[in-house]
Structure 1
């Protein structure tokens, strides 16, 4: 890992904030690093509330979207709520459909089949809407590039409202309303909402029409928080407030479907990390292994007994998903080695039989071994489909845009995207993608960065610091859990490897005779030689709590150590 220490912020600002908040220099420094420089900003950071949410009507086309939905409700039109098959899409559909059903009986949901229809708005979905007399489609977490499909729907007498958060192309679909804070002509103050977040802004605007406020929609925030975590959007500003408030719902009054998943996890208090690694994969497994409809059904269910049954089904899909992605990752790694493709600036692999539902996960797994922009392809009908994942600091979406002459369709974000192309274009695309990345990437980005907030002494770690650090949560992009570094550490002599195949290390470190603390280093078993050498070393870590037999003690969760 490439260790980088964040620049020290202005000491005058740190001192001023330290005095204003009556905190120590560690806390004040971490806050100033995050752009929090005065009492009021700190209050908003530590105590997010509904007051931090922006007026939904600041989003371009919001008035048009509300007017069209109100007209549909008043005239009894059939409304289709359409969304993608991932967590953001299925939570968006559950949110919008359950809200609209409080206002009208003529609402149905539609999730495209990952294999038959692919990502986003499909002609098949529009034909289904036409055949079943739907005159309005509300598309969530997709649609911003569906120019031809929205035009096609118009010929069928079907209106579109698009709620998306992906980057628009040069042209915006000719829909009744296009809600996307990333539109160049949209002045909405916060650009990083997820799809479910945009959906929540729409139901907030609809509720305001009924004399309600965002606070009256609290019950929907478990869905929004789950989408924010799963879609890896920055957890700052409005997203921070939505995630914070949504986690409260998850931990107090979750909807039946969410409660059924939580009961499987058997954890009392869930953090955003738990949402990302336990709730989200289960919701995602439905669309990956079976159909996204199963996730919407679970998240919309009001009867807890039924929700438990649906959650059990989804748990089976999740088990299948785990086995499948493990098998394909092994095959992909073997393919890289067999073809002697360990060098280079990219990883691009393909096999026609790989399961389309897990290739995104496999791409992320490959980055753990070969840290570079990665694409995993499989056969999808008469085309090849791929999931792309990137390394920190490199925009894979822009790189794909530079290869667009070889691509049929693509979309996504800076760090994750999807694409399709014709089989005959695969080799040309692969060569062009390698060439584009080689030309654009800073070579240092091909070594994983470990970003360290602060260099501190072991003696500065205490219960009070931990209590305040916990209030920095929810953590996520742009507000990561603080990483610290301490130098001149020594093992007290009891360091050892633990776990299966001695993959992990456990030790007690000291910096002076007075200060000792237990450390656990997952995946750092190969560092045992350095520990046993008795030489001083530096450690990068997060401060953590160890819960054991009813006792709570501080420990360091090691991220890396070096001489």
Structure 2
């Protein structure tokens, strides 16, 4: 698939010179830092050396005082508290963090995760009734609740107060809960808007600790869970998220809780974990519990005290993940075949597919897989409780939530973010929804947004690449959305005559520029370029710089993102 390269705007010479003088770095490093909002010595210090002292005051969040006071009151009166969370990674880590912290000093506590298939997403009537049967008078919802107006009212009638901790986009009218913590509220002046659901729960506990003079050191051991939620929920790695991910990853790499340690081992990670490792190695396994069986298994894993207990839960969840991979592969094959066999679908600006027997637990993954082949907003639907339930995914720069909202007259319910959403509609509305969604997207989306994008940080000379430069890049971690690992472009690059294809799919070559050393370059899944590369003929190379450590011999390697040829 053809890709478009967008090179970020280079900062002014004056800005670059100023930052070089302030922190004594090379011009390429100064440019990259300026692109990431670093303009001074102080900002560079905060960027390279994140500090927990830079976390915002939780009481800046709307309703935080009400939430903390109600939590304190419930504990003081020994009320039964139910911690309620969604069944995905963000929800289960939220519950493990909130329940796990409170459990260290308070016992009249339960947690509840809805069944994906019987109850669906968010607050459920069954969950409220269960809490009522247990005698609960306070429920804290994590990563859900912002749209559950009727159910929050139902809980109120049962004598149950609700504290909502959510990060999804709210409607204009909020639920009538005792407190609604959501930095995306229009009337919330909290300085950072991009927290994960677990992040909002963490801020509530931070506020609780401040008000009750509990040292932050008591909360710190739970930051490994926070890092997992930030990584898996694909929120920006900026501001507070970057600070929390930085310290959470430190914990994950030094003293992970038994459950996460068991997952790290079963995933086969031996080196220092990155955000990417969590996204692709830990996240899918935690998610698989709720996709294939019940997500409370993930919470039990994350709360496990002993190595033996953790390893047992991890084995079960890993089996769930293998089942998930099988469903994922088969349904993706079916979905792509449906598109390829239909000319109208192939030419459309959207993908909306429905099949009644697709596994509900993997349709979000299938939507992402379809975008890899057909780069456009995608919704995959299946039947659930005699309705069509779906997951939506989008492409960079296009707000799929807004597009779905324009079709809300055909929906029973919906919710989510700019790039991912969930929706439910009547079966008889599927075709009408498909048509309207296509019309809305076709009107809003640009042709560029339908072409895969590679955002390039800088044009670089290969002679500028060395370990000193690479070590600065390493210090820019953790990488993730809005703080991605730098991507470079080099012009007039040539390959030597030993271009190879490995395992019938990967490209391996040795590249150089006129005045540079030779670098090994690898392009995973890029065997299609093999016949196009002519040794010693120049081309344009788009790549990242990585370290190759083979038999204790360290070298820098170029990880190819794309190649373009001169006409």
TM-score higher than 0.5 = yes
> Residue in 2 aligned with 1:362?
366
SS in 2 for 1:165: coil
Structure 1 residues 344-493: aligned runs within 5 Å: 344-493=348-497
Which of residues 27, 30, 38 is equivalent to 2:29? 27
* Structure 2: distance between partners of 1:514 and 1:85: 51
Q: Does 1:333 align with 2:336?
A: yes
Match for residue 311 of structure 2 among 308, 315, 327: 308
Which TM-score applies when normalising by structure 1?
Answer: 0.98
Q: Which 5+ residue runs of structure 1 have no aligned equivalent?
A: none
2:231 maps to 1:229? yes
Match for residue 243 of structure 2? 241
Q: Would you say the 8 A contact 1:225–1:247 is kept in 2?
A: yes
Q: Distance in 2 between matches of 1:155 and 1:5?
A: 56
Q: Is the 8 A contact 1:50 1:215 kept in 2?
A: no
Task: Report the more deviating stretch, 261-270 or 195-204.
Answer: 261-270
**Contact 1:73 1:103 (8 Å CA) reproduced:** no
> Which residue is equivalent to 1:279?
282
Deviation at residue 547 of structure 1 after TM alignment: 1.6
**How large is the Cα RMSD of the aligned pairs?**
1.0
Aligned-partner Cα distance in 1 for 2:70–2:212? 15
1:294 aligned to which of 292, 297, 317: 297
TM superposition shift of 1:209? 2.6
Residue of structure 1 equivalent to 2:46: 44
Pairwise CA distance, 1:194: 0.3
Query: Pick from 242, 259, 263: which aligns with 1:261?
Result: 263
Q: How does 1:47-196 map to 2 (within 5 A)?
A: 47-196=49-198
Aligned pairs, how many?
561
Q: 1:514–1:125: structure 2 CA closer, same or farther, 3 Å change rule? A: closer
- Tell me how far 1:215 sits from its aligned partner: 4.1
2:413–2:423: 8 Å Cα contact kept in structure 1? yes
Identify the match of residue 320 of structure 1 among 319, 323, 327. Answer: 323
Residues 447-476 of structure 1: per-residue CA shift (max 9 Å, x gap)? 001111100111000000000000111011
Residue 126 of structure 1: CA displacement? Answer: 0.6
Query: Any conservation in 2 of the 1:345–1:437 contact (CA below 8 Å)?
Result: yes
Task: State the SS of the aligned residue for 1:515.
Answer: coil
Q: Give the Å deviation of 1:210.
A: 2.8
Q: CA deviation at 1:534?
A: 4.3
1:9 and 1:456 map into 2 onto residues whose CA distance is 15
Q: 1:159 to 1:484 in 2, by over 3 A?
A: same
CA distance in 1, matches of 2:515, 2:32: 28
| Distance change in 2, residues 1:533/1:550 (3 Å) | closer
- Secondary structure of 1:519 counterpart: strand
Taking the aligned partners of 2:43 and 2:542, their CA distance within structure 1 comes to: 29
Distance 2:15 2:215 in 1: 37
8 A Cα contact 1:50 1:214, kept in partner: no
1:537 aligns with 2:525: no
CA contact 2:497–2:535 (8 Å) conserved in 1: no
1: distance between equivalents of 2:354 and 2:79? 45
How far off its partner does 1:503 sit?
Answer: 1.3
- Separation of aligned partners in 1, 2:104 and 2:174: 31
